[in-house]
Amino acid sequence: MITVSLIRIALSALWANRLRSGLTLLGVIIGVTSVMTIISALEGMMGTIEEDLAVLGPTTFIVQRFGMTTSEAEFLEMLKRKPLSLNALDLLEKGCDLCEEICPRSGDQASIKRGPNTMRRVYVGGSTANMLDIVDMEVAQGRFHSREDDTYRRRVAFIGDLVREELFGPTDPLGKAIRIGGQKYTVCGVAKKRGSMFGESQDDFIFVPFSTHLKQFGQPGNRLRFMIKAISVERLEDAQDQVRMVLRSRRHVPFDKPDDFAIMTADSILDFLNSITRAFRLALVGISSISLVVGGIVVMNIMMVSVTERTREIGIRKAIGARQKHIMLQFLFEALFTTLSGGLVGIALGYVIAESLVGMIDMQISPSAFAILSGLAISIGVGVIFGLYPAMKAARLDPIKALSYE
């Protein structure tokens, strides 16, 4: 009952000084909004990246000449590596019994044309027919190219949704002809729309049979990569080790030298992105937290003024039996209610602003439990930290001096 009474007294005091409480609330709102905007936007961006990397699947890994690097020296060292060779494909298929599927893949950019409609610098990839067994790419219309298409070097094309939209509009593209780099191809299928990432469309691509790609664009060289699917998640690392042993032997890498190729998974790519952006993200949160500290100082300042103005009230309450802890809790509740109210408004505003910012680069976010709990924890923390000293000062006032205060 005492706690309920203290809460009622605290709310009455805040309502009696509505203007001052509102200004204090504004400082907290600005602080929490800035922090929540950064947290929500960063979570939304990383979540989108995770979703896009998820197309690789949990058992898929990629082998290519170049890996991920954070320094010029590492990149220059990678330039000394020999390109991967197509001859390694047979060795991998025979030497990796833990590899369920192996798909060679290459890519170039070319101009695409159909009648008067032209698209420039479109990614044209070449892959074997089993790529869809490795990569989670959905078919919206038609089909992906088949093993027979690869065997007979047929000029068939599996196009992205943006290519369909730009070249065909509302017309059904299946069976229609397009020109890739001047060569005539027949559309055999359309991929399901994936949207954009950082303002760049993920649907402006074309895949053709690997043998057809080689015939038109030549040997892949540095562009060659092997996409490999392990038999299970549990055997993923063992499959990578088998591939590593085959390639090291094929490329004559000494036992005391590191790999002269890169093996990457979706998790390793995400870990790399997290590592290079961690300091940047912490800096953004730290900078935005400055406004939160300013808001906390405003709370402390207003609470100190409130204690001074209500010194006589405190003396009367102590004279009729109020204890120190009751006085302290009353003022602490006032600070907590102020910061918690500001925090709730800040959480909502932060999410709306973050959604607008992330929407500018064609990404979507959804309110996460972590972001909401972080906002509530920040609000309560500011109220406790910056409201505790004024509350303790009020509780320690001498009742006799407080009663005589004018």
Average pLDDT over residues 129-156: 90
Q: How confident is the model at residue 380 (pLDDT cuts 50, 70, 90)?
A: confident
Name the residue with higher pLDDT: 247 or 267.
Answer: 247
- Alpha-carbon distance of 248 to 257, in angstroms, equals 10
Average pLDDT over residues 174-181: 93
Residues 323-351, buried b or exposed e (16+ Cβ, 10 A)?
Answer: eeebbbbbbbbbbbbbbbbbbbbbbbbbb
Q: How confident is the model at residue 400 (pLDDT cuts 50, 70, 90)?
A: low
User: Beta strand pairing status for 183-191 and 156-159?
Assistant: parallel
Asked if pLDDT for residue 88 goes beyond 80, the answer is yes
> Are 143 and 191 a contacting pair, CB within 8 Å?
no
Give all strands (DSSP E) within 299-350, no chain letters: none
Name the residue with higher pLDDT: 344 or 4.
Answer: 344
- Alpha-carbon distance of 192 to 169, in angstroms, equals 15
- Per-residue pLDDT at 112: 92
**Mean per-residue pLDDT over the chain, rounded:** 80
- Alpha-carbon distance of 341 to 349, in angstroms, equals 13
- Per-residue pLDDT at 176: 93
- Alpha-carbon distance of 180 to 202, in angstroms, equals 19
* Percent over 90 (pLDDT), the chain: 20
Asked if pLDDT for residue 92 goes beyond 80, the answer is yes
The backbone torsions φ and ψ at residue 127, rounded to the nearest 5 degrees and listed phi first, read: -150, 160
Residues in the chain: 406
Q: How confident is the model at residue 161 (pLDDT cuts 50, 70, 90)?
A: very high
Tokens 């207003």 sit at which residue? 302
Asked if pLDDT for residue 46 goes beyond 70, the answer is no
Cα-based angle 60, 63, 65 (whole degrees, multiple of 5): 155
Average pLDDT over residues 97-110: 91
